Amino acid sequence: MGGFFRKPINAPADLNGLKLRIGGLGGQLLQKLGVVPQQLAGGDVYAALERGTIDAAEFTSPMDDEKLGLAKVAKYYYYPGFWDYGPLTNLFINKQKYEGLPASYKAVVSCAAAEASRAMLMKYDSGNTEPMRRLAAAGMELKPFSREILDAAYKASQELYAELCAKSTHFKSVYDNWSKFREQAHLWFSINETRMDLFMQSALHR
């Protein structure tokens, strides 16, 4: 999700100077749109949003956001979180130590990592449904980011990635590989997956 905002955000200009709790790559992207990223621990977000120390807060999704009670101090819940598609797990291992493991142990690590990633995705896909219903029932206003904002964000993201590619050969190697796959996979998803998703959404809400 895009997070909880104290006031409506309708155009890119509305993001200029906005103090948003967000970090990482998303924070770098939103800086290009005029946002002032704020680094706050999860336990400090509610109080900062309530006092107006920050204007908005991005955390994760309904399942976690509801626990923080952010809807009580910020009325507008925006989507999508265009800087962060969904939950992702990471596993970092010393390469030398990993290569020294027996093949069977490497298989255990690989299987455990794959299971953790699968379980994370399933947890959020299933766990967001009821919290979203409760948030909506409590008066939270669910609002999409405008196409104008999404277009501006996409343009800014391409600028940011180009800058990072120029600075880091490692980032460039990962980004080039990912971009190539995305471009090739888009044909399949646009033909089948997206079409089916759109149909099912319309069929279930007739």
- 151 burial type by CB count under 10 A (0-12 exposed, 13-18 middle, 19+ buried): exposed
Q: Is the pLDDT of residue 87 over 80?
A: no
Q: How high is the pLDDT of residue 152?
A: 97
Cα separation, 49 vs 74, in Å, equals 7
First to last CA, the chain: 25
Scan for tokens 């796959």, then name that residue.
Answer: 181
User: What was the pLDDT predicted at 60?
Assistant: 86
Rounded to whole angstroms, the Cα distance separating 14 from 149 reads 9
Confidence at residue 59, expressed as pLDDT on a 0 to 100 scale? 85
Euclidean distance between CA atoms 20 and 131, whole angstroms: 22
Q: What is the mean pLDDT of residues 82-107?
A: 91
- Grouping H, G, I as helix, E, B as strand and the rest as coil, residue 112 is helix
- The sign one gets for the Cα dihedral 92, 98, 99, 102 is negative
Q: Could you tell me the domains of the chain?
A: 3-86+135-167 (3.40.190.10), 170-206 (no CATH)
102 has a pLDDT exceeding 80: yes
**For residue 42, what pLDDT band results from cuts at 50, 70 and 90?**
confident
pLDDT recorded at residue 193: 87
- Short-list 86, 94, 90, CA closest to 117: 90
| pLDDT higher than 80, residue 1 | yes
Write b or e for each residue in 167-201: b if 16 or more Cβ atoms lie within 10 A of its Cβ, otherwise e. Answer: eeeeeeeeeeeeeeeeeeeeeeeeeeeeeeeeeee
**DSSP helix/strand/coil, 94:** coil
Q: How would you classify the pairing of strands 76-79 and 141-144?
A: parallel
Supply the pLDDT for residue 179. Answer: 92
Give alpha helix (H) positions in 59-168.
62-68, 95-99, 103-127, 129-137, 147-167
Q: What is the residue-averaged pLDDT of the chain?
A: 92
* pLDDT tier for residue 204 given thresholds of 50, 70 and 90: confident
pLDDT band at 41; cut points 50, 70, 90:
confident
- Whether the pLDDT of residue 86 is over 80: the answer is no
Residue 84's pLDDT band (cuts 50, 70, 90): confident
Q: CA of 80: how far to CAs of 41, 51, 136, 142, 147, in Å?
A: 22, 25, 16, 11, 11
- Greatest Cα pair distance, the chain, in angstroms, is 58
pLDDT in tens, 136-172: 888 889 999 999 999 999 999 999 999 999 999 999 9
Using pLDDT thresholds of 50, 70 and 90, give the confidence band for residue 186: confident
pLDDT, average across residues 94-105: 96
pTM, whole model, 2 decimals? 0.86
Confidence of residue 12 (pLDDT cuts 50, 70, 90): very high
